[in-house]
Structure 1
């Protein structure tokens, strides 16, 4: 009986010691456990995002990961007038058929610029995206803004996995690959934002997409393509006098998209003081052409951070945007509505 009671006391002491040990080590492991759960959830979400990789069209192909997106079309409830027009670029044939004539001048139409466009498009010759992108059943796209928010994000490898990577103006890539990636499918630009050597920060097959805001923009490209004397008047900043881009890789964006972007932002079409930014335009283009649209590098510093750089490169601050032709707060609200609706997804935290 004494031995049994002694054994019971030993077991009870063991239980109390185990409980005490648990109370000691569990709080120590809790932060690590929470971190592990967070990491698993984070990379699990990115695994889901990466499952949106392109699927080539096939008669026997399985259900596309884009089906749920296309079925829901949550952003349609915002009445943003997305018509899923997939012809992004102007074609020479557009100017030989009455139904393609535009009643608006640049930047929202082609009226008055037909002759310039005929000459430009006769040289560039190509009007399509690469066949391997056109044949995708599910197009995943990411629009890379030039904002400071993408700096130190380490998103480069993720960005390179999208079917289409759309970049803006002369934003550099070399030296920033860890954060912004190295792949570039389309680069939207206008003469004042053009790089003299497009090959420096683009891939050999990158398409250089001119966004013509005025007739001088088309005239600049015509003079480049035909090696004519350059006219320097009519630009708010001197554009490059030499542009070494491959003519077969140049496209001219249909002004239809800038027109619809202006309507999205409720910008009056009969004034010249405010235009959509190239970034907002790129998002609108992606929403029309792509099935999954993600963004990174969008947003400007708040008024309390006047000295913070606005780009992931260089040293420009909000002071440089003082005389901008853009309504940045209006665009921020539009992007917020798109994000809230699920139409776009940010790859990094943002304010």
Structure 2
């Protein structure tokens, strides 16, 4: 006997419905062939000759790079997951109690509260130079090359005056925190890297009451800067760099390494200058003799260095070391 003759009309309707749903939601095996992949993931995502997001078939890069992680803080994205907030607060003294939401409200009553760099697309080619403070810049004659970039990001106190031939004169973004603060001109964006909530409070104070003169050491109570060009790195971005890129090496990432990853998120091409040792193997700043070393401090410097060179080998950044 035909099986359908034993089914009631209701059962037949249910069976047909199930078969329809199955056919609609079961992938076609042909679509799983390599020829049917969305070719857009292999197309250049900008108008530069090479793009950071172009040819996203690099598993190593795709695993680490998360374009959904917010690079910059605003009121809309300020809420943090519990684990992120706990990790970030763990970088600062546990005895220091502050209402984070109130601090955010204060921040964005003073500074721009908007999305930044959300204009990525096939017509954009934003070139960025990340300029560190290594002595390998001395005698490099990179100045004009650095200034040719659309965005020139300098870190902490690295000066340009007197060093223009080697480091350039253009600064569009200055990365700083209270302990590394310097005066800026009105053409430069102040980008605060908040390793602690006190850093956010200090930023508010510098433009208002100027009452914060100390964190764990003495800091400038005010600086010259354009309040309309202030940006705050999202604390979640620091954790993202630490976990996804450094795989939890060290206690937290260095300012320089975070800056490179920040550039990877806002730029289409990234060139890196002033990182590493000089040609003689010494580690110090180009503007003073302060000794530095990538293996020192709370950072996983050796792993950061290896990751930077992985990015170079995979054509995601270019590193200019100042000597042949």
Q: Same fold (TM over 0.5)?
A: yes
Superposition deviation, residue 127 in structure 1: 3.8
Alignment check: 8 A CA contact 1:147 1:312 kept: yes
Q: For 1:28-58, what per-residue CA distance to the aligned partner results, in whole angstroms no more than 9, with x for missing partners?
A: xxxxxxxxxxxxxxxxxxxxxxxxxxxxxxx
Superposition deviation, residue 128 in structure 1: 5.0
Residues 228, 186 of structure 1: alpha-carbon distance in 2 compared, 3 angstrom cutoff:
closer
5+ long unaligned stretches in structure 2:
1-45, 91-97
Structure 2 partner of 1:18: none
Q: Distance in 1 between matches of 2:86 and 2:271?
A: 29
Q: For 1:84-140, what per-residue CA distance to the aligned partner results, in whole angstroms no more than 9, with x for missing partners?
A: 358532112335xxxx44322277489952211210121013545589999961211
82-91 or 103-112: bigger deviation: 103-112
Q: For 1:252-272, what per-residue CA distance to the aligned partner results, in whole angstroms no more than 9, with x for missing partners?
A: 11123211211111226xxxx
Superposition deviation, residue 228 in structure 1: 4.6
Q: For 1:296-327, what per-residue CA distance to the aligned partner results, in whole angstroms no more than 9, with x for missing partners?
A: 1111369x95xx451111111148x8862222
Per the alignment, in what secondary structure is the counterpart of residue 208 of structure 1?
strand
Residues 231, 69 of structure 1: alpha-carbon distance in 2 compared, 3 angstrom cutoff:
closer
Residues 265, 309 of structure 1: alpha-carbon distance in 2 compared, 3 angstrom cutoff:
closer
Q: Distance in 1 between matches of 2:222 and 2:75?
A: 25
Residues 116, 138 of structure 1: alpha-carbon distance in 2 compared, 3 angstrom cutoff:
same
Structure 1 partner of 2:184: 198
Structure 2 partner of 1:209: 191
Q: Distance in 2 between matches of 1:69 and 1:244?
A: 34
Q: For 1:240-283, what per-residue CA distance to the aligned partner results, in whole angstroms no more than 9, with x for missing partners?
A: 12222221121111123211211111226xxxx72211110011
Structure 1 partner of 2:277: 300
Name the structure where helix makes up a greater proportion of residues.
1
Q: Which structure has the greater CA radius of gyration?
A: 1
Is 2:195 aligned against 1:218?
no
Is 2:153 aligned against 1:166?
yes
Query: Which of 85, 98, 107 is residue 120 of structure 1 equivalent to?
Result: 107
Per the alignment, in what secondary structure is the counterpart of residue 142 of structure 1?
strand
Structure 2 partner of 1:246: 226
Query: Which of 305, 311, 318 is residue 345 of structure 1 equivalent to?
Result: 318
Is 2:162 aligned against 1:175?
yes
Structure 1 partner of 2:261: 284
Residues 311, 75 of structure 1: alpha-carbon distance in 2 compared, 3 angstrom cutoff:
farther
TM-score, normalised on structure 2?
Answer: 0.72
217-226 or 144-153: bigger deviation: 217-226
Alignment check: 8 A CA contact 2:270 2:316 kept: yes
Q: Distance in 2 between matches of 1:322 and 1:72?
A: 33
5+ long unaligned stretches in structure 1:
1-62
Q: Distance in 2 between matches of 1:274 and 1:293?
A: 26
1:1-351 mapped onto 2 (5 Å cutoff): 64-66=47-49, 70-73=53-56, 76-85=59-68, 88-95=71-78, 100-103=79-82, 104-105=84-85, 108=88, 113-127=100-114, 129=116, 137-195=124-182, 197-199=183-185, 204-230=186-212, 232=214, 234-235=215-216, 237-263=217-243, 264-267=245-248, 274-300=251-277, 305=281, 308-318=282-292, 324-348=297-321
TM-score, normalised on structure 1?
Answer: 0.67
